[in-house]
Amino acid sequence: MEKLETYAKKTFLALKNPYCTVNQVYPRIIDLVAPSLEKHGFAWYTGIKDTPVIPEKLKERLNESGFLFHTADKMALGGRAVDLQLINPITGKWMTGSSSGTALNVFYGINDAGIGTDGGGSVLAPAAALNLYGFISPLIEQDHMRQHSKASTDGIVFSPSLGAITRDLETLEQVLDPLLGISLTEESNDWNTAWEWKEVPKGGQTDIYGRREPLIQYLNEIIRPGTILISREGPVDVNAMGDSIYGHFDKDTERCQALSGKGLMRVVNMCGKSALTVPSSELGCCTVLICESKKGDIEAMFRKARLLACKRSRLTQRYFMNFDMYF
């Protein structure tokens, strides 16, 4: 009964929509909670970015796997890297886009997981900005997503990837099953020694906060099957706004954009790679793990993330996930 009350409060908050992050709510999803708890041992309320790019069959598969479709989430207009209609509740600045509402609804506790699309950091960056976990892979609904190619604001043609955002690593690991058919329930002893782990050197020749084209070349050269890159990035959109529309005008706006803390996370999808962001204790900072889009490499990346995970801020959790504050 206590659990059902929590699910009901999530829907009450979604319907109240105090932060304008929700486009549509599906209250009757509560009918699936008890069957899901009995079948899977969990029932995670899930928000999905309100875009026709995400196929209905994925939503159905998520529902069947215990990730219950709770809200259609607001996204940044035009898929922009910042959302001028939503606010980051920690910094008070414009929220990072474009899966902005999806990330915020996870942060506020309306949902336990969120599904978004990522072209140039649109899942990874919002997750990092709120100290959440983020994951993308072009393997998710690959044939379908290839039909939706587009050009970025700086003229790079790409197909978006699907990805997920959660507050904790365990929930993100569980959503790997409906997304990719990956289960991490079995232990593995060779994940650390069988893969090559490379860290992006601080102050190295590659400026990870610079223009995208050199970074695309860098990632494509360094990442091969069996190689996983580790990049420390952030703080995302804390010191400056990371947006290529703003940054394209002149050298001053370009330098300002580079201060946004968005590094390789902007080009992971454009290179056809998979990535996982692990939040650190510092605001908007994370470790980005990047690998070839192979299931074995993705599994190794997630097992490595278990060693990097840190506790969430108790203060932000106590304040922003306090349902009693809203009613």
Contact 327, 14 (CB under 8 A): no
Within 10 A of 278 (CB to CB), how many other CB atoms are there? 25
How confident is the model over 130-158, as a mean pLDDT? 90
pLDDT tens, residue by residue, 222-260: 999 999 999 999 999 999 999 989 888 999 999 989 999
Task: Please give the pLDDT value at position 189.
Answer: 67
Q: pLDDT band at 152, cuts 50/70/90?
A: confident
User: How is the chain split into domains, by residue range?
Assistant: 2-182+194-320
Report the C-alpha gap between 21 and 105 in whole angstroms: 7
pLDDT tens, residue by residue, 16-58: 999 999 999 999 999 999 999 999 999 999 999 999 999 999 9
How confident is the model over 211-220, as a mean pLDDT? 94
pLDDT tens, residue by residue, 161-190: 999 999 999 999 999 999 999 998 777 766
Which of 3.90.79.10, 2.40.30.170, 3.90.1300.10, 3.40.50.970 is the CATH number of 2-182+194-320? 3.90.1300.10
Task: Please give the pLDDT value at position 45.
Answer: 98
How confident is the model over 78-86, as a mean pLDDT? 95
pLDDT above 90 covers a percentage of the chain that reads 87
Task: Please tell me what DSSP assigns to residue 75.
Answer: -
> Which residue bears the tokens 């002893």?
189
pLDDT tens, residue by residue, 9-25: 999 999 999 999 999 99
Report the C-alpha gap between 193 and 125 in whole angstroms: 29
Contact 188, 303 (CB under 8 A): yes
The tokens describing 105, both together, are: 């609804």
pLDDT for residue 2 is more than 80: no
How confident is the model over 126-152, as a mean pLDDT? 94
Report the C-alpha gap between 143 and 215 in whole angstroms: 26
